[in-house]
Structure 1
Amino acid sequence: MNMAGYPAFADDWERRATIRTRPRRLLENDDKLIFPLCRQPLVLSATFTEHCPQWRDFVLVQSFYKFINDVVIFETEIVDKTARAIAKNRFSLPFPLACRVDAMTVVVDEDYHALVALDFLQQTVTMTGIEPLELPTHIELSLALPAAQAQVPAHLRDAVELIGVAIAENTVTHEVAAFSKDSSVKGSIRGLMADHLFDEGRHAQFWTCLVRSYWQSASPNDRDAIAQALPTFLSRYLTNQLQKHFDLHLIEHLDVSTDVRRALRDDINALAFPIHRQHPLMGNILGFVHNSGLLQTPSVARALNDYMPVNRRLA
């Protein structure tokens, strides 16, 4: 694999990584929100605002717990796994030592992000007295990766894992950035998100470099095989079914009448979340496949045609 010109990130990590430079953040006991309203449509529905607005903080706190749980799964069970395999030279795709060192900085960062997230969960439970409901054991990426890997020959499964993780690391920045800029949210939580974003920007570049180098060395047949798996990956990664399932579970724990509960379920089930070019994360994903060189491969362009802006779609 040709890694000529690879921009090692370890020195930048030493100077700027949040684990090196940030103090512990403490949750404020103020009137700011713990989770953005715009990220939990349940509390914005007409049924909720009319019939049970007193449950808003409970719903937002539980939504924050799910967000933290998702972060921990993402960081420790998926990104950590891939980065650690690369760092320990146990990945089927060989990378030089400089990449392996950088991969270990990603491991440290992601485990630290998970630690900070769990610390905030504990602080929130202590401050609010609200215990988390049963939280999901997997996230969309947990299902998308194996589904896509099942579409390719065995020797390409690590390559699909690399590309899937790179896509996720390039899209998580979008969500974290929006969270960090919402002035209605507690300052410490916005600071937490800003810290996370600071590290993830470096991670996104790292994963993009690895994918670009791999793609340049991949055979045409391997590229075409991976291209055919990308729609499967995106359909599983961009779905809102897990969030919908969580929201329906949350509704069951509200002390409301049967009619209100039924109306709230209808509101959640009616939410449209199409998986196509208008999905809010597609801009980031298309940016990644362009910057990594994937989109210059005709089979990839064809596979992603339905996700392209109208002016870039193939005839």
Structure 2
Amino acid sequence: MNAADYQAIANDWERRATIRTRPRRLLEDDDKLIYPLCRQPLVLCGTFLEHCPQWRDFVLVQSFYKFINDVVIFETEIVDKTARSIAKNQFSVPFPLACRVDAMTVVVDEDYHALVALDFLQQTVAMTGIQPLEPPREIELSRALPAAQAQAPARLRDAIALIGVAIAENTVTHDVAAFSKDASVKASIRGLMADHLFDEGRHARFWTRLVRLYWQTASNDDRDSIAQVLPIFLAHYLTNDLHKSFDLHLIEHLDISASLRGALRDEAAALAFPITRQHPLMGNILSFLQHSGLLQTPSVVQALDAYLPVSRRATCGD
């Protein structure tokens, strides 16, 4: 794809963006969950189920607050920053005006998603009376981008941010889709997730097209330099260390015995996805890398060998 073939999303945004088409959603006072059980394994572990099930709603509400906090950080501090710099033509990688207009629609969407998330935070506090614990100040992407950028030439800092944001936008759709379909969760929250997903699908296509445009013009040396830092990015992006720290923080705020708290800590510490090709987000990431053109580059295939299915290692770089 070259610049002349770029498919703009601005017209689609005018017709379908949730900021233009969705009313405010109000939290229901019913017996549905505020956060899916499957997204908070702590409440499903044996020790918790046997000894402190009365703390389930507190843990789920706090987990929802963390989710909202993560959304605000992701949308306003990372995606917004990258999209805004592209829209204002301040990005080191130049893009055509049509791309910059599309980038500004992403800025508007992401700030709106953050507004809606904070509105739900306010509604949840009012309904439950549960105040949020001090939220984390970073998310996995907050660590992954600078870790990868630090290992590459300074001239590639923006390009790495572009690819990192594109990876994240192509994986958040998977995460939000699962949330939106969980029938155990309050309808308004599922609706919130469905709205978010509606916009994020458009964003994922936008970022994929931008990366493809960039990759076609990047030099072989720049491609190879970026390939070398992709495993560093993935190692930080796919880790569950921050979620584990949050769970341990939560456990400290449960009114339970010291021995029970220790048992919960042990179970929480054991909850992890290995960062390998079996990680649940790797399928989405590899699909993005394929559609953006990165997996047609031999150095990328070589750098990501540990993450690729055996069937794809011999063909991706051809």
Matches of residues 182-201 of structure 1 in structure 2 within 5 Å?
Answer: 182-201=182-201
Matches of residues 1-315 of structure 1 in structure 2 within 5 Å?
Answer: 2-313=2-313
TM-score scaled by structure 2?
A: 0.98
Moved more, 188-197 or 267-276: 267-276
Q: For residues 138 and 22 of structure 1, what CA distance do their matches in structure 2 show? A: 29
Find the residue that maps to 1:136 and give its secondary structure: coil
Deviation at 1:96, TM superposition (A): 1.0
1:127-178: CA deviations, max 9, x gaps?
A: 0000000100000000000010111111111000000000000000000000
Q: Does the Cα contact within 8 Å between 1:302 and 1:314 map onto a contact in 2?
A: no
Equivalent position amino acid for 2:37 in 1? L
Q: Does the Cα contact within 8 Å between 1:160 and 1:226 map onto a contact in 2?
A: yes
Q: For residues 309 and 184 of structure 1, what CA distance do their matches in structure 2 show? A: 34
Q: For residues 62 and 8 of structure 2, what CA distance do their matches in structure 1 show? A: 39
Find the residue that maps to 2:3 and give its secondary structure: coil
Q: For residues 272 and 197 of structure 2, what CA distance do their matches in structure 1 show? A: 28
Misfit runs of 4+, over 6 Å: none
- Equivalent residue pairs, number: 315
Q: Does the Cα contact within 8 Å between 2:240 and 2:272 map onto a contact in 1?
A: no
Q: For residues 230 and 254 of structure 1, what CA distance do their matches in structure 2 show? A: 39
1:4-24: CA deviations, max 9, x gaps?
A: 210011010000000000000
Q: For residues 162 and 68 of structure 1, what CA distance do their matches in structure 2 show? A: 23
TM-score scaled by structure 1?
A: 0.99
Q: Does the Cα contact within 8 Å between 1:306 and 1:313 map onto a contact in 2?
A: no
1:231-281: CA deviations, max 9, x gaps?
A: 000000000000000000000000111111000000011123200101000
Q: For residues 189 and 108 of structure 2, what CA distance do their matches in structure 1 show? A: 21
Find the residue that maps to 1:4 and give its secondary structure: helix
Aligned-residue sequence identity (percent) comes to 81
- CA-atom RMSD, angstroms? 1.1
1:41-90: CA deviations, max 9, x gaps?
A: 00000000000000000000000000000000000000000000000000
Q: Does the Cα contact within 8 Å between 1:305 and 1:314 map onto a contact in 2?
A: no
Q: For residues 86 and 257 of structure 1, what CA distance do their matches in structure 2 show? A: 53
Find the residue that maps to 2:93 and give its secondary structure: coil
Equivalent position amino acid for 1:221 in 2? D
Which structure 1 residue ranges, 5 or more long, are not aligned? none
Find the residue that maps to 1:90 and give its secondary structure: coil
Q: For residues 130 and 61 of structure 1, what CA distance do their matches in structure 2 show? A: 8
Q: For residues 211 and 24 of structure 1, what CA distance do their matches in structure 2 show? A: 34
Equivalent position amino acid for 2:189 in 1? I
Q: For residues 311 and 96 of structure 1, what CA distance do their matches in structure 2 show? A: 37
Which structure 2 residue ranges, 5 or more long, are not aligned? none
Q: For residues 93 and 208 of structure 1, what CA distance do their matches in structure 2 show? A: 15
Q: For residues 2 and 190 of structure 2, what CA distance do their matches in structure 1 show? A: 39
